[in-house]
């Protein structure tokens, strides 16, 4: 079973700074004093803006736009509670004002009131169903409510109604990554980064996918620089350590990665992504007891977190406890039937149990959910071989998997062996191609795969004997 270090996903809540974005009518006219306050704040005159906005709501106490401007200035100047009260006043004056509803939702979400936030976002969408910011923010609150499928739908809808919404594309990528759709996540992050090059989240997420070709060095360096500034928050410093740990893991420097993750957890001990990721590294190191402790800690903080449950199942597989692993994977699919890695992992278990029919069903479902997952395609090819499919079709299946992911070591070994095997029909055998794939496997093979390394070397020795 191939494992990748899961993404540390970055979700962004959008707090709008606009004054009006819905069709104007008499009740929505922004009073002169409120417009002046907004202009003062934009000019950097914070105290003057606060004073002018206070005067605006005294003079126009029944004006929703006046209270909306007052709330926005309060929020921007750091007075969250005052902003919440002002937005609440605005929506009481005009419950059909989607901007005030959305911004109120974003603020109450910040203080952890998920139900109130969801109610506000849905009130905004009842007035304006295509309001991309409210759709995106609704996705954030749904995700925190453990309603992952609904959250993904909300992000996708936000990106659909506003294809230029960089934050929605980033959050969609995070949702896709959480359920194992690496290719879909990459596409969403790339789209987000292209739409807004100043937004750090998608660039960092691409870097954390652990593909060196995707690493944004500038973003990584900016993150480290920000974390080293005097007064940097513990969360920011933990995030920088986590990014460094991900880089170390990419280079298979597992001990260094674990050390950095543990340092990050000292700063941010309830960060479930860090807990999950250090467990993945510990599993690589054979420290399964510690991996289980960290994954269970993550699940106590965020019950049902599918990535952590999936990795918990993988650790049980490595411990030889397939029954407990199967329970975890089935539990994930009860919670989220679209989590394709759970389907994939169930397929691996069914193969080990000799139930090839169920294994094929699981791998096919995984392929439907994530058609560009090379490991799924490779395992379907192996099952096809067990079913007696023709060698030409088997060869094409391995090549298709490698076209999706050239780093899939097992596929190079299988294809190299097929092309070198004297039992393969002469018109299909290709000694030069076999040698290339076997050598590529030896470049990629994990340190502990002695059996695979021995197979590759045996095939290479056979090929050399033919010269």
Note down the domain range covering 410: 375-467
- Residues in Cβ contact with 453 at an 8 Å cutoff, skipping those fewer than 6 apart: 442, 445
In degrees rounded to 5, what are phi and psi of residue 349?
-65, -45
Neighbours of 457 (CB within 10 A): 12
Q: Is residue 231 part of a domain?
A: no
Whether residue 174 is found in the same domain as residue 40: yes
Question: 120 and 90 in contact (C-beta within 8 Å)?
Answer: no
The whole-angstrom separation of Cα 123 and Cα 104 is 11
The whole-angstrom separation of Cα 238 and Cα 244 is 10
Question: 245 and 232 in contact (C-beta within 8 Å)?
Answer: no
3-state secondary structure of 197: coil
Whether residue 387 is found in the same domain as residue 435: yes
Neighbours of 324 (CB within 10 A): 14
Q: Is residue 72 part of a domain?
A: yes
Question: 156 and 173 in contact (C-beta within 8 Å)?
Answer: no
The whole-angstrom separation of Cα 3 and Cα 315 is 11
Q: Is residue 84 part of a domain?
A: yes
Whether residue 386 is found in the same domain as residue 368: no
CATH code of the domain in which 129 resides: 1.25.40.10
Among residues 64, 11, 60, the alpha carbon closest in space to that of 32 is found at: 60
Residue with tokens 């699940």: 299
Q: Is residue 451 part of a domain?
A: yes
Among residues 96, 72, 62, 66, the alpha carbon closest in space to that of 18 is found at: 72
Helix, strand and coil content of the chain, in percent to the nearest 5, comes to 75, 0, 25
Neighbours of 444 (CB within 10 A): 17
Whether residue 81 is found in the same domain as residue 174: yes
The whole-angstrom separation of Cα 394 and Cα 336 is 32
Tokens standing for 175? 């949702």
Of 158, 178, 198, the one marking the end of a domain is: 178
Which pLDDT belongs to residue 122? 95
Q: Is residue 286 part of a domain?
A: no
Of 152, 178, 204, the one marking the end of a domain is: 178
Whether residue 409 is found in the same domain as residue 462: yes
Give this prediction's pTM.
0.56
Give the chain's end-to-end CA distance (angstroms, integer): 35
Q: Is 323 exposed, middle or buried (0-12, 13-18, 19+ CB in 10 A)?
A: exposed
- Residues in Cβ contact with 141 at an 8 Å cutoff, skipping those fewer than 6 apart: 105, 109, 114, 117, 118, 121
Question: 328 and 310 in contact (C-beta within 8 Å)?
Answer: yes
Of 337, 372, 407, the one marking the end of a domain is: 372
Whether residue 136 is found in the same domain as residue 49: yes
CA dist 443 → 179, 377, 436 (Å): 29, 21, 11
CA quadruple 77, 80, 86, 92: dihedral sign: positive
Long-range contacts of 90-93 (CB under 8 A, 24+ apart): 90/64, 90/65, 91/64, 91/120, 91/123, 93/62, 93/63, 93/64, 93/67
Residue with tokens 């750090």: 200
Whether residue 342 is found in the same domain as residue 384: no
Whether residue 363 is found in the same domain as residue 379: no
Question: 10 and 205 in contact (C-beta within 8 Å)?
Answer: yes
Cα-atom radius of gyration of the chain, to the nearest Å?
Answer: 27
The whole-angstrom separation of Cα 98 and Cα 76 is 19
Whether residue 332 is found in the same domain as residue 307: yes
Q: Is residue 198 part of a domain?
A: no
Whether residue 443 is found in the same domain as residue 412: yes
In degrees rounded to 5, what are phi and psi of residue 350?
-60, -35
Which pLDDT belongs to residue 450? 83
Which pLDDT belongs to residue 218? 64
User: Could you give the number of structural domains in the chain?
Assistant: 3
Q: Is residue 259 part of a domain?
A: no
Residues of the chain under the 50 pLDDT cut: 1-27, 211-215
- Residues in Cβ contact with 335 at an 8 Å cutoff, skipping those fewer than 6 apart: 146, 148, 304, 306
In degrees rounded to 5, what are phi and psi of residue 45?
-95, 75
Question: 457 and 432 in contact (C-beta within 8 Å)?
Answer: no
3-state secondary structure of 171: helix
The whole-angstrom separation of Cα 10 and Cα 315 is 25
The whole-angstrom separation of Cα 330 and Cα 365 is 14
- Please spell the DSSP secondary structure of 198-220, one letter per residue: T-HHHHHHHHHTT-GGG--HHHH
Whether residue 355 is found in the same domain as residue 400: no
Whether residue 379 is found in the same domain as residue 352: no
Q: Is residue 240 part of a domain?
A: no
């Amino acid at each position: 079973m191939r494992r990748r270090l899961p993404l540390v996903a970055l979700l962004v809540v959008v707090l709008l700074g606009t004054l009006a974005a819905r069709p104007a009518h008499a009740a929505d006219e922004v009073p002169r004093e409120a417009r002046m306050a907004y202009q003062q704040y934009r000019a950097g005159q914070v105290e003057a803006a606060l004073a002018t906005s206070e005067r605006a709501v005294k003079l126009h106490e029944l004006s929703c736009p006046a209270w909306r401007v007052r709330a926005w200035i309060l929020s921007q100047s750091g007075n969250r509670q005052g902003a919440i009260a002002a937005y609440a006043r605005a929506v009481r004056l005009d419950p059909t004002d989607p901007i005030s509803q959305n911004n109120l939702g974003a603020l109450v979400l910040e203080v952890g009131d998920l139900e109130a936030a969801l109610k506000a976002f849905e009130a905004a969408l009842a007035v304006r169903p295509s309001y991309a910011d409210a759709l995106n923010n609704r996705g954030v609150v749904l995700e925190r409510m453990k309603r992952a499928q609904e959250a993904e739908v909300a992000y996708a809808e936000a990106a659909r109604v506003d294809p230029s919404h960089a934050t929605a594309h980033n959050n969609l990528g995070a949702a896709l990554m959480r359920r194992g759709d690496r290719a879909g996540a990459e596409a969403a992050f790339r789209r987000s980064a292209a739409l807004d090059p100043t937004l750090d989240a998608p660039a960092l997420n691409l870097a954390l996918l652990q593909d060196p070709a995707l690493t944004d060095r500038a973003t990584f360096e900016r993150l480290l620089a920000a974390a080293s500034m005097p007064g940097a928050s513990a969360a920011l410093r933990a995030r920088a350590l986590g990014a460094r740990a991900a880089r170390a893991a990419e280079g298979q420097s597992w001990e260094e990665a674990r050390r950095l993750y543990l340092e990050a957890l000292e700063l941010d001990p309830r960060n479930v992504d860090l807990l999950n990721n250090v467990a993945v590294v510990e599993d690589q190191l054979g420290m399964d007891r510690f991996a289980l402790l960290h994954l269970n800690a993550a699940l106590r903080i965020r019950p049902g977190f599918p990535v952590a449950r999936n990795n918990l199942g993988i650790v049980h597989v490595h411990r030889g406890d397939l029954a407990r692993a199967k329970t975890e994977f089935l539990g994930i699919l009860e919670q989220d039937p679209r989590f394709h890695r759970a389907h994939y992992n169930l397929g691996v278990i069914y193969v080990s149990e000799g139930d090839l029919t169920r294994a094929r069903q699981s791998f096919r479902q995984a392929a439907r959910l994530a058609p560009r997952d090379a490991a799924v395609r490779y395992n379907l090819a192996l099952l096809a071989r067990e079913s007696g499919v023709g060698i030409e079709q088997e060869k094409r299946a391995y090549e298709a998997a490698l076209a999706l992911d050239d780093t899939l070591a097992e596929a190079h070994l299988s294809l190299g062996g097929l092309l070198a095997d004297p039992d393969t029909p002469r018109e299909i055998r290709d000694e030069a191609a076999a040698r290339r794939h076997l050598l590529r496997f030896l470049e990629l093979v994990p340190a502990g795969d002695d059996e695979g390394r021995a197979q590759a070397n045996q095939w290479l020795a056979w090929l050399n004997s033919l010269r």
